[in-house]
Amino acid sequence: MSSLRWLSLALAVLALPGASAQAQATGQRVERKLAIDPDASIRIYNLNGSVRVEGWDRDTISVVATIGDPLKNRFFFGGGVHGAKMGIESPMELDQAPAHLIVKVPTRARLWIKAATASIDLSGLEGGVDVSSTSGNIRFEGNPDQLNLETMDGSIEVTATGPWIRTKTASGAITLRGQGEDVGATTVSGDINLLSTGMRRLRMETVSGRLNFSGSLARDGALTAESHSGPVDLLLAADLSAEFDLTTYQGTITNGFAPERRPTRQGEGQELHITVDTGTANVTVRTFKGPIILRKK
Amino acid sequence: MTCLELFDYLDRYHAGTLSRLEAEAVEQHLLGCAECAADFRFQRSLKGKTAALANEIAPAHELWPGIRDQIRGISTTVATARPAWLRTPWLIAATIVLMGLSSGVTALLTRTGNLQPDGGSRDFQSTEVGYRQAADELLRTLQAHRKELGESAFRVIEQNLHIIDQAIQETQAALASDPRNQQVTELLWASYEKKIDLLQRAAHSVES
């Protein structure tokens, strides 16, 4: 071997640790693209860091991944025209260094995302979306065909119009804005805030969180709220025509919507069954001891 | 059985005209699908309300819009029920766990409307035992995956389970002094369902 080749090899060996350290500090950037069907199924897996997915009007999936520690983590990507999957692999999953994925997918793609602490930000999507996280925050904006978002103690923030929307947390707060046909929000101790511009059928459930509804219902809409100890506060459009069926076993009912109608006492609790206008919509509330408050917008 | 298939069977299930095998398939689906179980209970309570109306007297004018809207609500849900592709093998496995414990829970799903603790009803007790067994089984499974879930996430789940258990204790105490209160009974079952749902979701989150 010539002395020049030995010198090159020695320089390369000397440079290696430095290069690795630099990759760790700044992250390794990887880009991938793939032609894909407009309604392809896409799976994304990234435990820590962030995932941002944007719908675009192209039959292509594009990914930019920034991997925090390329020595420990590996970006994987594969698939064909009908579907693709990608994510961050780590031999020790819990120790996965934060990685950041920016993904562009056809708007009608069906999306499945799994995370642990990674924050998830989704926009411009119109297909089915299913997200499961442990403690990451989830934000969604779009008009999905199906939307299912679950996190334990992260928060969920949705602005959407669609036929089927479900959101669930344990202690995380849920904020939902829009005009869903069939909307469900469930927590154990997290608060739920629903800002409706004409939702048709919605159900809010909690054990101890606050349930807040504000806005209008579809003319034939149905709002159901169920809580054990969390307060239920409904701020309703003044022109709402609805039948109200409210019951609390040990709590109180404050009727600021039709104040001339007072709740009746039922054991330790209260009931209120009234029809306002012709009663085309339905409002049903059940609590064990959480107070129920009706207000007019 | 999918959610859509279930919808085709529910009316006949309420009417008691399904074969034993079909009825069992319906019950097994309801055990693993909280949303269908909630719709089932809703339909059952609706059936109870309509059955309570006298046959010879025309119902009050304002009654029908509510019933009509509630029925519309059901069909909206079923028509847009969660598709199969959103379901996961782990949840199916969890469902199988529940099915294995079905003696008590099946009683719940099939007779919730009449289940009350007065007189030490065997159905009520077996239902509650079924729920507890299902929750215990799921909790054991989850504890086996505690490391994968992570300590902080496990603590969050424990805290929320504690909140649900407190709610269960309070409703149980209320039922002890007011055993015929169907609304409190339903709140009790709802709390148990939230507990099982939370455990299932936690299990789902450790699925890779």
Per-residue pLDDT band at B208 (split at 50, 70, 90): low
pLDDT at A221 over 60: yes
Q: What mean pLDDT is predicted for residues A42-51?
A: 95
Query: In Å, how far from its chain's centre is CA B171?
Result: 17
Average pLDDT over residues B109-133: 68
Q: Tell me which residue in B68, B83, B164 faces A207 most closely, judged by beta carbons.
A: B164
Task: Say how far apart CA B173 and CA B191 lie, in whole Å.
Answer: 14
Average pLDDT over residues A1-6: 50
In which residue are the tokens 């409190």 written? Answer: B184
* Residue A65 phi, psi dihedral angles, 5° rounding: -110, 135
pLDDT at B1: 76
Strand pairing partners for A45? A87, A114
Which CA distances in Å does B120 have to B131, B176, B187? Answer: 17, 10, 18
Given a cut of 90, is residue A159 above it in pLDDT? Answer: yes
CB atoms within 10 A of CB A76: 12
Q: In chain B, pLDDT over 90 holds for what percent of residues?
A: 21
DSSP classification of residue A107: T
Higher pLDDT, B71 or A275: A275
Note whether A102 contacts B: Cβ–Cβ < 8 A: no
Residue B100, min C-alpha distance to chain A (Å): 26
Quote the CA–CA distance of A220 and A141 in Å, as a whole number: 26
Q: Enumerate the residues of chain A whose CB falls inside 8 A of the CB of residue B90.
A: none
Cα separation of B149 and A186, whole Å? 21
Q: Give the integer Cα–Cα distance in Å for A71 and A126.
A: 37
Q: A171 — contact with chain B (CB < 8 Å)?
A: yes
Report how far apart the first and last C-alpha atoms of chain B are (Å, whole number). 25
* Among the partner residues B80, B82, B191, nearest to A228 by beta-carbon distance: B191
Q: Does the CB of A91 have a partner CB in chain B at under 8 Å?
A: no
Q: Where does chain A have alpha helices with state H? A: 3-26
**CA of A97: how far to CAs of A72, A78, A136, A139, B206, in Å?**
8, 22, 15, 22, 18
Task: Sort out which chain B residues have CB atoms less than 8 A from A280's CB and list them.
Answer: 65, 69
d(CA A134, CA A150): 8
**ipTM, interface predicted TM-score of the complex:** 0.85
List chain A residues with CB under 8 Å of B76.
181-182, 200-201
CB contact under 8 A, A201 and B77: yes
Please name the amino acid found at residue B108.
Answer: L
Is the whole model's pTM more than 0.80, yes or no?
no
Burial class (CB in 10 A: 0-12, 13-18, 19+), B59: exposed
Whole-angstrom Cα distance, residue A3 to residue B108? 84
Nearest Cα of chain B lies from the Cα of A21 at a distance, in angstroms, of 28
Query: CB distance from A191 to chain B under 8 Å?
Result: no
Record: contact B187-A228, CB cut-off 8 A: yes
Q: Give the least confident one: A87-101, A253-267, B173-187.
A: A87-101
**Do residue B86 and residue A171 have CB atoms under 8 angstroms apart?**
no
Strands A60-67 and A99-106: antiparallel
Q: Of A43-47, A204-208, B103-107, B137-141, which gets the smallest average pLDDT?
A: B103-107
Whether B164 sits inside 8 A of A220 (CB atoms) is no
d(CA B179, CA B105): 20
User: What digits encode the pLDDT tens for the residues A73-129?
Assistant: 889 999 999 999 999 988 765 567 899 999 999 999 999 999 999 999 999 999 999
